[in-house]
Chain A
Amino acid sequence: MMKGQTGATGRPHMTSTHYSIFSVLREALRGHTGWGPAWRNAEPKPDYDVVIIGGGGHGLSTAYYLAKNYGPLRIAVLEKGWIGGGNVGRNTTIVRSNYLLPGNIPFYELSMKLWEGLEQDLNYNAMVSQRGVLNLYHSDAQRDAFARRGNAMRLHGVDAVLLDQAAVRKMVPFLDFDNGRFPIHGGLLQPRGGTVRHDAVAWGYARGADRLGVDIIQNCEVKGFIRDGGRVTGVETSRGLIGAKKIAMAVAGSSSRVAAMAGLRLPIESHVLQAFVTEGLKPFIDGVVTFGAGHFYISQSDKGGLVFGGDLDGYNSYAQRGNMPVVEDVCEGGMALMPRIGRVRLLRHWGGIMDMSMDGSPIIDKTPVDGLYLNSGWCYGGFKATPASGYCFAHLIARDAPHPVAAAYRLDRFATGHAIDEKGMGPQPNLH
């Protein structure tokens, strides 16, 4: 698992390329001087079979699965900044497949299955941690809605357990069961849900794709599309023209901007979603808990920080930050649910830009422009979708036909009346 390379110093040395406890121990003995870059910082070539715009989680996973499942292909990932700098690096790390609608469940369940095998597949420990996702209910109506959801999940072969109050109390005894404004009646648990170390997902896919020959090109901003008749043939970038047989957009947060360069208007608004982390604490929250009567969900990272979030700020935004009303609203939810965290301190809060679609569900589809493929509209479900999004998008790009589990994510579903509206909020993106 070691091979000779020429290092930056010009001297040949041995680099460790396979990750394992043995390579770590070996490197420990020599001051870790034998590790090479996790991925090459590639220079753009004049043309590729597939150019993927966006070096976030979805772009990188698309490149990985495209190379792995449909190669050999000459593939480049173009990233305007540094890879993993978008929402894969600024989310609350939750993975789950506890969806309601048939358009969504199989897709997110494929994603869960890919998460479950990800580390061995990538030889990269992204700390996929299945400690459970618990959604609390506070009324009979909410219980029945969760039962409907849990039953839908079970029909799709997904794990779902409806818990009563006693069972929830046993799992998370420190919630405000006795003095809450909205009593906790129980919860819907997906035991296989959990969290993943978010940055590591981008790095793991980047390293995996790189090892399959994908060029990952950072600091390369796409400025426009080169077109030949109705077809795209390449991109103009800050680092020159790059030709491509097929061009795939995976730029959630910037989808409208990039699509506009191809003359497309999308069913998407950009919204800011804030996320929060506290100072590190000795672990006391095992899984993910979601408050059903306020805008609040929480988990505790392997470093000890409480990681939590809530609702969108609610207005169109391309600024990666939010405002105080939502900060306060989210913390109010937190204190209402678990009053023991009153003296725990918020360490940082930040915002990410969400592609909010008109029904709250994503789009993985061809566009009306030949050769141009679209992966967008992830709302705030993008992180958990990362593996399946790349897997299905790669299928679409390679085969020119949707992967069966992503077949509902059509761009024209709004025109035909086939919205996938989990929350029933209609074409009001900030309510999804």
Chain B
Amino acid sequence: MRIACPHCGERSLDEFLYSGDATVKRPDFAGTTAMDDFVTYTFERTNPPGPHRELWYHAAGCHAWLVVTRNVSTHAVASVELARDVALAAKSATKDSAS
């Protein structure tokens, strides 16, 4: 498997570490359902057989966290984004919808 790091270019699997599902969002610690929310966030996974948005870390490269969209049945990589960009976009979207 090869992953195209937005900073470093296409690199072999050995340079990256995998961390898991990128679709779960860390809940609000002060919410009334915080405990349930954190249990769901930390332990439950959809684990779908097809396309999967997931976090990878360019450990032997630039140390960027990446959101990789990959088909887990074929290992085909569809897209690679910087996790920071994805997270910032999500936060601004949340802010927009709140305002």
Contact = CB atoms under 8 A, between A and B. Distances in A.
A323 B40 CA distance: 31
B20 A415 contact: no
Interface in B1-57: 1, 12-14, 17-21, 36, 39-40, 42-49, 52, 54, 56
A318 B70 CA distance: 12
* Interface size classification for chain B: 20 to 34
Interface stretch (A33-41, A201-209, A265-273): A265-273
A323 B1 contact: yes
A24 interface: no
A430 B18 contact: yes
B43 A316 contact: no
B84 interface: no
Contact of A265 (B42, B44, B52): B44
Interface in A245-285: 256-257, 260, 265-270
Nearest to B56: A315
A430 B47 contact: no
Contacts of B99: none
Contacts of A256: 45-48
Given A268-B47, A269-B21, A317-B72, 20 more contacts: A256-B45, A260-B46, A265-B40, A269-B20, A269-B45, A270-B49, A270-B72, A314-B17, A314-B18, A315-B1, A315-B18, A315-B54, A315-B70, A315-B72, A317-B73, A318-B72, A318-B73, A358-B43, A414-B42, A414-B43
Contacts of A427: 42-43
Interface string A290-326: 0000000000000000000000001111110001110
A429 interface: yes
Interface size class of A (residues with CB under 8 A): 20 to 34
B43 A319 contact: no
22 contacts: A257-B47, A265-B40, A265-B46, A266-B44, A267-B43, A268-B47, A269-B45, A270-B47, A315-B1, A315-B54, A315-B56, A315-B70, A315-B72, A316-B52, A323-B75, A324-B13, A325-B13, A358-B43, A415-B36, A427-B42, A429-B20, A430-B18
Interface in A401-432: 414-415, 427-430
Contact of A325 (B12, B45, B48, B70): B12
B38 to A, nearest CB: 10
Contact of B74 (A260, A270, A319, A429): A319
Contacts, number: 74
A383 B88 CA distance: 44
Contacts of A257: 47, 49
Given A270-B72, A325-B12, A414-B39, A316 B20 contact: yes
Contacts of B17: 314
Contacts of B48: 256, 260
Contacts of B19: 428
Nearest to B14: A325
Nearest to B49: A318
Contacts of A414: 39, 42-43
Contacts of A269: 20-21, 45, 47
